[in-house]
Amino acid sequence: MTETRLSIRVDDTTKRNAEAVFNALGMNLSMGINIFLTRVAHSRSIPFALELDNDPQDVLMCGVVKSKLNNVFENGAPIALFDDEQNRPYLEYTDGRKVYELDQNTDSS
């Protein structure tokens, strides 16, 4: 099995608290993260419930994220690029489509 290095940013307090839990379980942080990633890969899901508060902004953001994820699943993962001539960002899909309106599903190629 080929290994790869993973670099993530996390709040220092969160890291210390997680390390303490993993140490109490007889493992280090790297082992704990590997267990988490293995579980995600095997179950193809997050191994705990994800919930929103009753904040309407959270519900709105959830809808936007869900819409973007559905778009990725339907159209393939796009690459975010920047058009120097039009001075604005766009997403380019594997089929060559360019989507300039990142907050909508319109094709402005």
d(CA 13, CA 9): 12
Q: What pTM did the predictor assign?
A: 0.46
What is the side-by-side order of every strand in the sheet holding 98-99? 79-83, 88-92, 98-99
Residue (of 43, 39, 35, 32) closest to 10 by Cα position: 32
Give the pLDDT band (50/70/90) at residue 106. very low
Mean pLDDT across the stretch 80-106?
75
Is the per-residue pLDDT at 109 higher than 50? no
Per domain, the residue ranges of the chain are: 1-50, 56-99
Q: For 10-68, how does the pLDDT look when each residue is reduced to its tens digit (9 = 90+)?
A: 888 889 999 998 888 888 999 999 998 988 888 888 887 766 666 655 555 666 666 76
